[in-house]
């Protein structure tokens, strides 16, 4: 039995999240159905990351098992079956048949996009935020986050996690033309964590609360102190890092 991975990208506004929820349209359900049609047997995938409704992915992974060699034009055929809102970018063969797309990940990187001037072409692609922002305060809040490991304040309730500890490897803001981006990378993320980080930083940098309150919010370990009310459509899962030499690409035959 061989274990394969699909590297996928998707438009999150077309799905109610990435993980299967019965017959509700999700990314995983679309992949399971396409694989089952192409492989002519029920095939279930396992996702590397669970994104909420509206959240996009530029790079995510789902693994599945299959006994026989894949079709010579497997990626082409998968993309022909899948809806236009999700695409298979690469097909990979795991060197370890027990490789797990979720638990083998070393880190994940997210990007949150914000724009200040009304732009109809950015609807459902970024957060329209026409309010004052103190960039120096944003840079300071982003840097402060790397001093902490317990992020219970930025985890939504009813989570199944056993620990709220995360190792934030990178946290910074970038200007991209008319857009402002928050980039954060960590070994793991909690439910709603990135949106909580973005929403809370915007509150601080908008003058809604003093800078000293940011540390108090983190140290409170209470999600009622943070702000999660930024939409999912501004958030992108951008990259997932795995150990080197974990898999080999399976390319379509020309």
Tens-of-pLDDT digits for all 254 residues of the chain? 999 999 999 999 999 999 999 999 999 999 999 999 999 999 999 999 999 999 999 999 999 999 999 999 999 999 999 999 999 999 999 999 999 999 999 999 999 999 999 999 999 999 999 999 999 999 999 999 999 999 999 998 777 678 999 999 999 999 999 999 999 999 999 999 999 999 999 999 988 677 889 999 999 999 999 999 999 999 999 999 999 999 999 999 97
Fold match flag (2-104 vs 107-238) = yes
Q: Rounded to an integer, what distance in angstroms lies between the CA atom of residue 77 and that of residue 38?
A: 7
In the annotation, is 52 catalytic?
Answer: yes
Q: Which residue has the tokens 């960590």?
A: 186
Write out the two tokens for 164: 């709220």
Fold type of domain 2-104: Alpha-Beta Plaits (3.30.70)
Task: Specify the pTM.
Answer: 0.94
Angle at 214 between CA 220 and CA 134, to 5 degrees: 165
Q: Where are the domains of the chain?
A: 2-104, 107-238
Identify which of 15, 67, 7, 28 has the alpha carbon closest to the alpha carbon of residue 242: 7
Confirm if 18 and 60 have CB atoms less than 8 A apart.
yes
User: Quick one: CA dihedral 114, 115, 118, 124, positive or negative?
Assistant: negative
**Would you tell me which CATH number, out of the four given (3.40.190.10, 3.90.850.10, 3.30.70.660, 1.10.150.130), belongs to the domain 107-238?**
3.30.70.660
The catalytic position among 23, 52, 245, 252 is 52
């Amino acid at each position: 039995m061989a274990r394969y991975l699909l590297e996928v990208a998707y438009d999150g506004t077309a799905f109610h999240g990435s993980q299967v929820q019965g017959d509700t349209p999700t990314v995983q359900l679309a992949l399971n159905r396409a694989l089952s049609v192409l492989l002519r047997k029920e095939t279930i995938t396992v996702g590397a990351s669970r994104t909420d409704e509206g959240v996009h992915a530029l790079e995510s992974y789902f693994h599945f098992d299959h006994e026989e060699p894949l079709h010579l034009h497997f990626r082409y055929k998968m993309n022909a079956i899948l809806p236009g809102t999700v695409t298979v970018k690469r097909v990979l063969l795991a060197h370890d048949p027990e490789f797990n797309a979720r638990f083998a990940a070393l880190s994940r990187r997210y990007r949150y996009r914000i724009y200040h001037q009304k732009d109809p072409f950015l609807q459902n692609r970024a957060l329209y935020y026409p309010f004052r922002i103190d960039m120096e305060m944003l840079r300071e809040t982003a840097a402060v986050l790397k001093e902490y490991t317990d992020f219970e304040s930025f985890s939504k309730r009813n989570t199944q996690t056993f620990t709220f500890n995360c190792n934030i490897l990178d946290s910074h803001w970038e200007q991209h033309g008319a857009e402002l981006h928050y980039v954060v990378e960590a070994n793991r993320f909690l439910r709603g964590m990135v949106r909580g980080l973005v929403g809370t930083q915007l509150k601080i940098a908008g003058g809604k609360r003093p800078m000293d309150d940011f540390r108090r919010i983190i140290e409170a370990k209470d999600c009622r102190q943070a702000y999660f009310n930024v939409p999912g459509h501004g958030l992108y899962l951008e990259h997932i890092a795995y150990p080197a030499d974990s898999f080999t690409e399976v390319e379509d035959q020309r």
